[in-house]
Amino acid sequence: MEQFIMKGGTPLHGEVVIGGAKNAALGIIAGALLTDEDVIIENLPDVRDINVMLEALKEIGAVVERIDRHTAKISAVGVTSVSIDDEYIRKIRASYYFIGALLGKHHMADVPLPGGCAIGSRPIDQHIKGFRALGAKVEIRNGCVQAAASEGLHSSHIYLDVVSVGATINIMLAAVLAEGRTIIENVAKEPHIVDVANFLNSMGANIKGAGTDTIRIRGVRRLHGTTYAVIPDQIEAGTFMCAAAATRGDILIKNVIPKHLESITAKLLEMGNTVYEYDEAVRVVGAPVQHPTDVKTLPYPGFPTDMQPQMSVTLALADGTSVVTESIFENRFKYVDELARMGSNIKVEGNVSVIDGVKRFTGASVNALDLRAGAALVIAGLAADGITTVRDIVYIQRGYEHFEQKLQALGAQIELVDSEREAQKFRMKIG
Ligand code: EPZ
């Protein structure tokens, strides 16, 4: 079983280059199904979830050519099936984007109910509400979402009851080829929403208002091919910003859009760290002593829930008491029990955690329970005295490309090992 083993206590120094945004690329890959012409997607992160999505496209008849590790050429003209049934696709949340794209292009979709990280109940009622408003019949049968619109889809005025990233993107995918003018209100405004909308517009769609509370889509008859580069990953960048602070290091984080990181920068500044912003980079210098602060996760431009575990680990080493409120998912504090093995002092009550900062963590053996919790525990291990092993790193590899190599380049003593013998060799090596 692959695991990360690391010796902590080394402040991270140097430069890291951020890859493409996973949560934008997932919607963009599904969007390639909306045209019969070639779509070239650049700056794709080479991570597990992306590779599963590309494999699923092949399964329904699309031709997927990997031009290089970060570029794929997709031709969906040969799609013969609207039914995706793959054991892997069941495991990733973004499989739901195939519903919107197949419904939009082929007026029919049969896709397994999505899986993903167990950070909360995660229903898709808002997705289904949107598809039905566009004229589709939608049923859940045999663990699959079966949607059909034999007469084609028509425009509609949809109000989302919950600000949902997935529902916003999925309804956009379904509505771009629907006759008439669709209005979607109370939508999510995350950078990946805007990136998917820009991608669809580069194929000839007519989407306005992405990044605001209301999106307006005028349906078009067909979409053409395109070449599109995915934006940098806000959350990968934020993860390295917290790694710099928690290890009291100094990292220049390159290929980012600083505006997307403002809420994370604000919290690190409140803690007394130094953050320099450049055009396409940010530099974080971790302060020796950091102040506590309170964080509440919110939809963008609020503090991202996908940064909550990493920021909590950083606050757990601050000089005082912080309060973290998780307002998006009801079960996103599972890592707290793992972090307690490393000597943290955190109490959780419902969706609130009270973090009493400690001077230092001590190394331990912990489990990555989901993608962001796993990344947070790696940061904790790099800040800790002694050796830490993080198991179940398959979760981390779902969303972080070559995480250990990027950390090694910053001076971290970390290795990916797949046996106890290799782990022992690491322990011997670092003495
Ligand atoms: C996306 O998940 C991201 N996943 C998540 O990132 C991220 O945490 C989340 O947005 C919030 O930013 C992908 O993009 C693949 P939501 P999603 O729909 O779409 C409720 C990561 O680490 N809701 O915005 O599932 C839902 O239960 C992952 O990269 C409904 O009630 O999130 C939640 O409480 C983890 N009904 C809230 O809305 C619905 O139909 C926000 O969920 C849809 C959502």
Six token digits for residue 201 = 């517009």
- Is residue 126 lining ligand 1, measured as CB closer than 6 Å? yes
Cis previous bond, 301, omega within 30: yes
pLDDT at 1: 86
- Is residue 170 lining ligand 1, measured as CB closer than 6 Å? no
pLDDT at 121: 80
| CA 304 to ligand 1 center in whole angstroms | 11
pLDDT tens by residue, 206-227: 999 999 999 999 999 999 999 9
d(CA 117, CA 154): 33
pLDDT at 50: 96
Which of 165, 307, 310, 396 most suits a substitution to test ligand 1, by most atoms within 8 Å of the C-beta?
Answer: 165
Q: Which of 321, 303, 302, 314 is nearest to 339 (CA)?
A: 314
Q: Which of 194, 219, 211, 236 is nearest to 50 (CA)?
A: 236
pLDDT at 90: 73
pLDDT at 117: 64
- Is residue 329 lining ligand 1, measured as CB closer than 6 Å? yes
Per-residue pLDDT at 98 exceeds 90: yes
Six token digits for residue 125 = 């009622």
Contact (CB, 8 A) for 158 and 181: no
Per-residue pLDDT at 201 exceeds 70: yes
Percentage of the chain beyond pLDDT 90 is 92
Average of per-residue pLDDT across 156-172: 98
Per-residue pLDDT at 411 exceeds 80: yes
pLDDT at 116: 62
Higher pLDDT, 91 or 412: 412
Using 50, 70 and 90 to split pLDDT, how confident is the model at 88?
low
pLDDT at 83: 87
pLDDT tens by residue, 241-298: 999 999 999 999 999 999 999 999 999 999 999 999 999 999 999 999 999 999 999 9
The position carrying tokens 């570029």 is: 71
- Is residue 132 lining ligand 1, measured as CB closer than 6 Å? no
Average of per-residue pLDDT across 182-201: 98
**Which residue is closest in CA terms to ligand 1's atom 44?**
164
Using 50, 70 and 90 to split pLDDT, how confident is the model at 81?
confident
pLDDT at 30: 98
Mean model confidence pLDDT for the chain = 96
Higher pLDDT, 81 or 19: 19
Using 50, 70 and 90 to split pLDDT, how confident is the model at 430?
confident
Known catalytic residues? 117
Phi, psi at 152, each rounded to 5°: 90, 170
| CA 251 to ligand 1 center in whole angstroms | 30
Ligand 1 atom with least separation from CA of 117? 35
pTM: 0.97
| CA 142 to ligand 1 center in whole angstroms | 23
d(CA 45, CA 171): 24
| CA 405 to ligand 1 center in whole angstroms | 29
